[in-house]
Structure 1
Amino acid sequence: MKKLITTVIIDDELHSRDELTFLLGRYDELEIIGEADSGEKGLEVVMRKKPDVVFVDIEMPQMSGLELAKSLQNMKNVPLIIFATAYVDYAAKAFRVQALDYLVKPFDEEQLQDTVERIKERLAFSGKQEDIKTGIEKLAVEDEGRIVYLSPADITYLFREDRETIICTLDGKYSSKTPIKELEGKLHGYPFFRTHKSYLVNLNKVEQLIPWFNGAYQVKVVGQKEEIPVSRNYVKLLRERLEL
């Protein structure tokens, strides 16, 4: 049986959800498995159903589509994000959170067809195997004029300080000019989690999750004295990734 591309629609306007449901229903390869009328509910639906693709509005009360997309970047299998909005001036911000496409209401059917083709191409290209790493793969880090090859499994966490990224391992720390966002991309598929805008943690090295204040937490990792901050928005997702 051919696998369908599972899809979730998140929009606070019912008629927009209905219109998109109708238009996407014309594509036999797509299966709409859920919808939500807010960012908060949408996050719950996506975490529970784990779709391949999420169509999401940007302007929503409380949690916006952009905030939702940022939260989804910490999922083990990050769904493709398609923004569907009445506003054209968010496009630049949308692509900063790795959106695949940006649809403007009212929906143009030709543009929607192009979007569906892009979805099919992207999923066919990845083969849904983005989290499988094989062979010898090491992270190359330029450190004080030399190139150091680090195994991702040996990295405990990374953080951004001033204009440098510090990569911490059990054996030492390495300084790199490479932005943490770029290193996060290179480590995609390994169990790293963005706990804070400036911190990336190896989940296999986490020992403790420690309450801090105002709903925020700190993480303790193997072999490191420092406690790493966890933003409130990421606590629930972090626990879901860590716990059986």
Structure 2
Amino acid sequence: MNKPITVIVVDDERLSREELIYLLNQHESIEVVGEAESGDVAIMKSIQLQPDVLFLDIDMPKMDGMEVAKSVQELKHSPHIVFATAYPDYAVEAFRHEALDYLLKPFDEEQLGETIERIQSRFEQTRAEAVKTSSPSKLPIEGEDGIAYLSPDEILYVGREERETKVVTRHRVYETKLPLKDVELRLHAYPFFRIHKSYLVNLNHIKRLTPWFNGAYQLELQGTDEKLSVSRNYIKDLRKELEL
């Protein structure tokens, strides 16, 4: 299991810090390792704790969030930045600092969940890139009747249901205890793409993409009648992968 993504919450207002820390603690993939009430404390704690992400307020006395972002980007272990502010006017400048996201107060739980998914996606991509480019030619799936060695080309998609990961081919469904993230890492050298927190698909088998509702889409694959949900957080990148 991958280690949690570590976070420091930076805000000069105590109640805002406490609210955001409470909401972040609802996500198992996130570990809040510290908080800071000012920009200079945020930089000091970033050096000491080396967090993966700063949730950073902008309007703070003495040193504002933009100045903090610029300073921590010069650190050896530079954290990613998510700006969390009551002011929408700084969004353009925020993304010049390569911010992962821009959250507005009061915090909306659904929007925060989308931010967490975006952070996870970035870190999963980074972890995949860290894996050696050489990958085995077969994916081993251990079952009760032995170990099946699957060619990545024959896999249509991989899905997570409760505590099982299922690997779907044209002719059979295989089950494994491996987390979806681990399967994704093993297949990183092949044309697989995450379309949802629960689905990883083989781009070579995609047949049709159709609008569904609330910005989501449904995906049809060659070789199966199933229709898979595409999260709106992934649709833009998926279309880039599919379109010339």
- Do both share a fold (TM > 0.5)? yes
AA aligned to 1:72 is R
1:158-189 per-residue CA deviation (whole Å, 9 max, x = no partner) reads 11223322111123211222222221222222
The reply to whether residue 168 of structure 1 matches residue 168 of structure 2 is yes
The reply to whether residue 185 of structure 1 matches residue 185 of structure 2 is yes
Write out aligned runs for 1:220-239 (5 A): 220-239=220-239
| Alpha-carbon contact 2:118-2:233 (below 8 Å) kept | no
AA aligned to 2:192 is F
Q: Which has the larger radius of gyration?
A: 2
The corresponding residue for 1:16 is 68
| Alpha-carbon contact 1:10-1:37 (below 8 Å) kept | yes
Superposition CA RMSD, Å = 4.0
| Alpha-carbon contact 1:10-1:17 (below 8 Å) kept | no
Which runs of no fewer than 5 residues in structure 2 stay unpaired?
Answer: 1-53, 59-64, 85-90
* Alpha-carbon separation, structure 2, partners of 1:162 and 1:67: 18
| Alpha-carbon contact 1:36-1:45 (below 8 Å) kept | no
| Alpha-carbon contact 1:194-1:200 (below 8 Å) kept | yes
AA aligned to 2:71 is E
| Alpha-carbon contact 2:163-2:177 (below 8 Å) kept | yes
The corresponding residue for 1:207 is 207
1:106-148 per-residue CA deviation (whole Å, 9 max, x = no partner) reads xxxxxxxxxxxxxxxxx9xx5xx95x446x5211001233100
| Alpha-carbon contact 1:210-1:219 (below 8 Å) kept | yes
* Alpha-carbon separation, structure 2, partners of 1:42 and 1:238: 27
* Alpha-carbon separation, structure 2, partners of 1:192 and 1:173: 17
* Alpha-carbon separation, structure 2, partners of 1:212 and 1:240: 19
| Alpha-carbon contact 2:206-2:219 (below 8 Å) kept | yes
| Alpha-carbon contact 2:83-2:101 (below 8 Å) kept | no
Which runs of no fewer than 5 residues in structure 1 stay unpaired?
Answer: 1-8, 28-34, 47-53, 81-97, 99-122
AA aligned to 2:119 is A
TM-score, normalised to structure 2, is 0.56
Q: CA offset at residue 220 of structure 1?
A: 0.8
The corresponding residue for 1:217 is 217
* Alpha-carbon separation, structure 2, partners of 1:176 and 1:231: 24
Once the two structures are aligned, what percentage of the paired residues are identical? Answer: 38
1:38-69 per-residue CA deviation (whole Å, 9 max, x = no partner) reads 598799879xxxxxxx7x58884376664432
